Structure 1
Amino acid sequence: MKNDMLKNVLVWAVVIMILTTVFNHFSSQKQASSGRLDYSDFIEQVHQGQVSKVFIEGSTIRGVYSNGESFTTYNPGDPGLMGDLLDYHVKIQAQPPEQQSLLMQIFISWFPMLLLIGVWIFFMRSVGGGMGGKGGPMSFGKSKARMLTDDQNKVTLDDVAGADEAKQEVGEIVDFLKDPSKYQNLGGSIPRGVLMVGPPGTGKTLLAKAIAGEAKVPFFTISGSDFVEMFVGVGASRVRDMFEQAKAHAPCIIFIDEIDAVGRSRGSGMGGGNDEREQTLNQMLVEMDGFEGNEGIIVIAATNRADVLDPALLRPGRFDRQVTVGLPDIRGREQILKVHMRKVPLSDDVKPSYIARGTPGFSGADLANLVNEAALFAARENSKLVTQKHFEKAKDKILMGVERKSMVMKEEERRMTAYHEAGHAIVGYLVPEHDPVYKVSIMPRGRALGVTMYLPEEDSYSYSKRKLESQLSSLYGGRLAEELIYGEDAVTTGASNDIERATAIARNMVTKWGLSDNLGPLLYEEEDRSGFMGSSRNANVSGEVSKKIDEEIRTIIDRNYERARQILIDNNDKLEIMTECLMKYETIDKDQVDRIMRGEDPGAPKDWVEPDDEVNPPSKNEDASQDEKKAKPFEPHEATLDDSKSGVDENSGEPKMH
């Protein structure tokens, strides 16, 4: 880096010196030209006897007047000049003009052009590394892969937590690169390719960086989108160039991030088999396992859409091994938190195990963001240590959104929101196999006017029919509470997200999960993954069956809707108590909900401080510090309004795998 900087400084210094010399040369000539005596005046003064001596050199005449002053003029080739000078007794000295070599004359005449060419070459090298170099104007077909050296990557497998099985799989590759004879003596060969599959944020790219840091071999990294250009054939050329570079540095590793950008199934594009993406994929298939093998080159790719990849890319001999990097369990989340907490000054009350228990469904990226948000909360309070309270605030912000303290709601609207959230909480509390209620709040967060969150007692990997129907009932609890208190005509649009999610769950129960009593365990709908609309449905059913599907969905919804209605009618007194409690405190926690459902006095939230001034109490949305104060951390899981961490995916209606 220092050598390059010194080289650039020297080049610029030479360019500036040359430009300065040329400028001074022409400037001096201009000044000399401006101070010359006109030839006609010179002849007139010779005739008047005022010139005593002249020195002639080529076409330049320098002379001295009788009074001792000097002058300069130009000889236009006047044949009578010498006669005039002799007639008026002017002393003459003459010298032939200085002769320049032919090379010097050529250099002087071509110097401006050479200077322009040199400056252009310099700038082209600075910007693009040369005409055909990497990034240059003629480098369309060159690979954009960047090679990492040992000093550029300090990440090792010790920095990767929560993915023990994946680390073991890729650890064998690192071990093979370090000691290949250990496997070759037993007839084993290194995998040609490894495909890492998993949801976003689970650490696939981090794992690839760790492989590079551990292997101590050349490591080429590139994104799948770097291959594809608007010109057909460029991507295939880049693939060839990338593997040529890799062969020159073998053994080495090539890492392709987001390979689904170029590796989608052939035949699904607009250009048939001749479009740019498919030609790039064909070249990649040949390079990975074609007629000529690439020994010593390991290709590692990462994607979260393995379902759309071409089957030829996944066969043995190309990507021999698929490594699943899933969402971490509670022990993995604790390990990930400890890794990210290394650089954060922690208070003694911070317990990673509690935080891990309260963050089911979080990926490694989510946990890194949680630690960062907690540090930001501590910095805003000018705290020197990050405490458990800061982590709780960060968790609530990530799960529920930022508190909208400046939002002013009418008293009647706040009360209706309180009834809505209380309805969710009561139904969710009483239906079987539902996650326990964790927190109920009417503090606006994100797009939601209120939030009801639930606490899963442990990580869930599958959902029973009873649990799904309980979720349906709790989703309709908010709308039913509004209907029972204010009447059918006063029901608001606040339940739109609840209705959308409930409909998705019921449809999936009937068409995908085989949980319908009348239609049985058959698949009636599947995701259309062949075209551009990856989320569209492809229903291969008759019109009669489609009608039965709609009827069965309506039956499931109606059954759970009526169950939720009856629960709220039977517990109307608890609905009123919880609503009043929310109106007073804005947020109530698990202990208060338990006491309300047992018929006891709910009391105040933990660390609640009564306002001193009863005449001017604080604004309902002004001070929400009591919302985040808790005795111990819980595990928010599902919010009834706009909660991306809910137990069921909002788009597909499928339960999330934790």
Structure 2
Amino acid sequence: MKWWGWALIACTGLLLALILSGSPRNSGELGLSEFTQAVREQRVKTADIAFQGGTALVSGRLTNGQPYRARTLPADPVLKLGTLEARGVTVTYVAPPRVSVLGALSMLLTLALIGGLIVLLIRSRNGANGDAAGTFAKSKAAVVSEGQIKLTFTDVAGCDEAKQDLQEVVDFLRQPDKYHLLGARIPHGVLLVGPPGSGKTLLAKAVAGEARVPYFSISGSDFVEMFVGVGAARVRDLFEQARKASPCIVFIDEIDAVGRKRGMNLQGGNDEREQTLNQLLVEMDGFGSGQDVIVLAATNRPDVLDAALLRPGRFDRQVVVDAPDVRGREQILRIHARKKPLDMSVDLGVIARRTAGMVGADLENLLNEAALLAAREGRSRITGRDVDEARDRVLMGPERRSLVVREADRKVTAYHEVGHALAAQLLPHADKVHKLTVVPRGRSLGSALYTPEDRMHHTRAALLDRICVALAGHAAEDVACGEVTTGAQNDFQQATGLARRMVTEWGMSEVGQLALAQDSGNYLGFGPQPTSYSDHTAEQIDAAVADILNGQYARAHALLSEHAHVLHRLTDELVARESLSGEELRTVLAGGTLPDLPGAARPEAPVPQGGTLHPEGA
């Protein structure tokens, strides 16, 4: 609090003390009726009368020696001289008192208090307007001082190449003279590119933790406001602070919010976002040799960034932080499992193989869900069952065992899921199933979980097998029940999308090796973009997509019809057990039998014809 605030509080307290001390409510104060009654009863010995304005002040002593004071009107009959002397009162008229020091001080403090309140009100209004304008122009970056970030590269896994590229930035911030002597120029900016949750922000913090330098963190959307010029002012303020704290790191998260391509404002006029981007370009190009400021930025849409932002001298280097492979996923799981008590049944290597496509944030959430499940059931350690259940919850949602499902619907769902699993097992390039279930989860009545492989390239045969597996659930319903249901809606969407990409993006059809896919990034916001091909080509694309889908559906139908006896047997087992693991599935396919369920009768299984099954093409 400022000095005038304390002064105002002190004046207020002093004024209240004076008012209370000068209050007429004292022990010797007599009311008008009490004074009149005392005069009539001849209990008043002396009376000193003073007239002040329209008030008569009476003071003196009673017959018992006690002092008294009273206030009344000058025309009060009790104050007549004859009346008082008749009652034996010694009367004295005194001159009106001058203004007392106490009264004067009380008046001055009152005036000072009122004046102070007025000044405070005026200053608060002016200050509010000035502070609002200053706040808008100030950067909203979170500043972390040197040494406060404890995160290092050892806490980041699954992106060894990205860490190697960023190690040069760390070395430059630690030993800038080594590079300056050789005339080397460290990249002014490093752009971290990768899918959401892959660890871009984590890597930026690790760079600051390794280099032990100040760290400025801000989001791209924090620059842009509805007022023109505010974003550019914030950019100037941010880099001014960074220059004063150099060597340091400036991290801009989601830079595509402010760094999109210019010239997309069809309404004309002044574009606040473009002004902000122009100021950012000027600031990044204005670093001198003595200003060791490294700008790190993260985005998952590098294709929408302005070309001037990506040229050498600004963001000189792009570091790809992609989804980790199986080894990287295992390392990430081990980092997140450091502070979690794991049971011996938890195999992080197996979990890594079953979580293809997951990024660091997904894996951290997986172990956190497993810890929540273990705590909910009162266990002190996380078991493998908790991790499996957590993976199912993350991918498909929680179990809905309270949902009432008819036996006929459960049977159809079992045929559908077994159709997927059986086709995946028989086709050579398909991902194998590691779990089947007819327990409702989320919005699905059943599901088949696969163990995908990390592949850099996908052949046409592998893609066709994936489409065949996706359509095999619908085909299994037709083979087993003679009719189909609405349960294959998502399967058709996945199969159609994959087939269309084969035709329009990857040149895997009779249409030809042409790039026919439309750009999905419509930055103007005025409906779909026009196609780059004719209506005849569009008809060829639709025909090629339909040929792929119809051909793979016929293939799945024929495959399941040939192995219908196994389809029925697996379905009976799945209905009886509600879930089948990959090992149990392979046991049945090899002609073996599963252990009996406790207290349940085993369904009669058809005798397999032709012995054990062999994958197609094996």
User: What interval of TM-score do these two structures reach, taking the shorter chain for normalisation?
Assistant: 0.7 to 0.9
Counterpart position of 2:594: 603
Structure 2 residue 523 is matched with structure 1 residue 531 = yes
Structure 2 residue 106 is matched with structure 1 residue 114 = no
Counterpart position of 2:472: 477
Q: In the aligned structure 1, how far is the partner of 2:249 from the partner of 2:38?
A: 89
**Contact 1:39–1:73 (8 Å) recurs in 2:** no
Counterpart amino acid of 1:472?
I
Counterpart position of 1:632: none
Counterpart position of 2:25: 32
Counterpart amino acid of 1:588?
L
By how many angstroms is 1:45 displaced?
A: 5.4
Q: In the aligned structure 1, how far is the partner of 2:8 from the partner of 2:107?
A: 21
By how many angstroms is 1:151 displaced?
A: 5.7
Which secondary structure state, in structure 2, belongs to the residue aligned with residue 445 of structure 1? coil
By how many angstroms is 1:527 displaced?
A: 1.9
Q: Normalising by the residue count of structure 1, what TM-score does the alignment of the two structures yield?
A: 0.80
Counterpart position of 1:346: 342
Counterpart position of 1:584: 576
Q: In the aligned structure 1, how far is the partner of 2:215 from the partner of 2:128?
A: 24
Counterpart position of 1:512: 505
**Contact 1:511–1:523 (8 Å) recurs in 2:** yes
- Tell me whether 54-63 or 240-249 shows the greater mean CA deviation: 54-63
Which secondary structure state, in structure 2, belongs to the residue aligned with residue 154 of structure 1? coil
**Contact 1:327–1:361 (8 Å) recurs in 2:** yes
Counterpart position of 1:462: 457
Structure 2 residue 555 is matched with structure 1 residue 549 = no
Map 1:79-478 → 2, pairs under 5 A? 89-91=90-92, 96-99=98-101, 105-114=107-116, 138-150=134-146, 152-269=148-265, 271-272=267-268, 274-290=270-286, 295-456=291-452, 458-478=453-473
Which secondary structure state, in structure 2, belongs to the residue aligned with residue 497 of structure 1? helix
By how many angstroms is 1:84 displaced?
A: 5.2
By how many angstroms is 1:25 displaced?
A: 5.0
By how many angstroms is 1:132 displaced?
A: 5.4
Q: In the aligned structure 2, how far is the partner of 1:154 from the partner of 1:535?
A: 48
Q: Which one has a bigger Cα radius of gyration?
A: 2
Counterpart position of 1:72: 69
- Tell me whether 166-175 or 28-37 shows the greater mean CA deviation: 28-37
Which secondary structure state, in structure 2, belongs to the residue aligned with residue 556 of structure 1? helix
By how many angstroms is 1:432 displaced?
A: 3.1
By how many angstroms is 1:562 displaced?
A: 0.9
Counterpart amino acid of 2:100?
E
Q: In the aligned structure 2, how far is the partner of 1:18 from the partner of 1:563?
A: 94
Equivalences, count: 592
**Contact 1:58–1:97 (8 Å) recurs in 2:** no
Q: In the aligned structure 2, how far is the partner of 1:11 from the partner of 1:609?
A: 84
CA deviation digits over 1:160-186, x for unaligned, max 9? 111111112222112111111111122
**Contact 1:528–1:535 (8 Å) recurs in 2:** no
Let me know the Cα RMSD of the aligned residues: 3.9
Q: Normalising by the residue count of structure 2, what TM-score does the alignment of the two structures yield?
A: 0.85
Structure 2 residue 494 is matched with structure 1 residue 501 = yes
Q: Classify 1:11/1:601 alpha carbon distance in 2 versus 1 (closer, same or farther; 3 Å).
A: farther
By how many angstroms is 1:142 displaced?
A: 1.3
Counterpart position of 1:486: 481
Counterpart amino acid of 2:508?
L
Q: In the aligned structure 1, how far is the partner of 2:187 from the partner of 2:213?
A: 16
**Contact 1:439–1:452 (8 Å) recurs in 2:** yes
Counterpart amino acid of 1:560?
Q
Counterpart amino acid of 2:531?
A
Q: Classify 1:179/1:146 alpha carbon distance in 2 versus 1 (closer, same or farther; 3 Å).
A: same
Q: In the aligned structure 1, how far is the partner of 2:105 from the partner of 2:14?
A: 20
Q: In the aligned structure 2, how far is the partner of 1:17 from the partner of 1:482?
A: 87
**Contact 1:47–1:84 (8 Å) recurs in 2:** no
Which secondary structure state, in structure 2, belongs to the residue aligned with residue 515 of structure 1? coil
Q: Classify 1:160/1:132 alpha carbon distance in 2 versus 1 (closer, same or farther; 3 Å).
A: farther
By how many angstroms is 1:206 displaced?
A: 0.9
Q: In the aligned structure 2, how far is the partner of 1:76 from the partner of 1:247?
A: 78
Q: In the aligned structure 2, how far is the partner of 1:203 from the partner of 1:537?
A: 33
**Contact 2:15–2:109 (8 Å) recurs in 1:** no
CA deviation digits over 1:578-604, x for unaligned, max 9? 111111111112223223333x13414
Counterpart position of 2:606: none
Q: Classify 1:62/1:41 alpha carbon distance in 2 versus 1 (closer, same or farther; 3 Å).
A: closer
- Tell me whether 33-42 or 59-68 shows the greater mean CA deviation: 33-42
By how many angstroms is 1:20 displaced?
A: 6.0
Q: Classify 1:62/1:335 alpha carbon distance in 2 versus 1 (closer, same or farther; 3 Å).
A: farther
By how many angstroms is 1:259 displaced?
A: 0.9
By how many angstroms is 1:245 displaced?
A: 1.6
**Contact 2:60–2:67 (8 Å) recurs in 1:** yes
Q: Classify 1:405/1:291 alpha carbon distance in 2 versus 1 (closer, same or farther; 3 Å).
A: closer
Which secondary structure state, in structure 1, belongs to the residue aligned with residue 435 of structure 2? strand
- Tell me whether 476-485 or 570-579 shows the greater mean CA deviation: 476-485
Q: Which has the higher contact order (CA 8 A, sep 6+)?
A: 1
**Contact 1:62–1:73 (8 Å) recurs in 2:** yes
Structure 1 unaligned regions, length at least 5: 1-6, 615-658
CA deviation digits over 1:50-77, x for unaligned, max 9? 4613275977553334454544345889
Counterpart position of 2:48: 54
- Tell me whether 168-177 or 22-31 shows the greater mean CA deviation: 22-31
**Contact 1:340–1:368 (8 Å) recurs in 2:** yes
Q: In the aligned structure 2, how far is the partner of 1:246 from the partner of 1:104?
A: 54
Q: In the aligned structure 1, how far is the partner of 2:478 from the partner of 2:547?
A: 20
Counterpart position of 1:621: none
By how many angstroms is 1:550 displaced?
A: 1.0
By how many angstroms is 1:144 displaced?
A: 0.8
**Contact 1:169–1:323 (8 Å) recurs in 2:** yes
By how many angstroms is 1:18 displaced?
A: 6.7
By how many angstroms is 1:113 displaced?
A: 4.8
By how many angstroms is 1:397 displaced?
A: 2.3
Q: In the aligned structure 1, how far is the partner of 2:114 from the partner of 2:315?
A: 58
Structure 2 unaligned regions, length at least 5: 602-618
Counterpart position of 2:564: 572
By how many angstroms is 1:219 displaced?
A: 1.4
Q: In the aligned structure 2, how far is the partner of 1:175 from the partner of 1:446?
A: 49
* Percent of matched pairs sharing the same residue: 43
Q: Classify 1:292/1:92 alpha carbon distance in 2 versus 1 (closer, same or farther; 3 Å).
A: farther
Counterpart amino acid of 1:594?
R
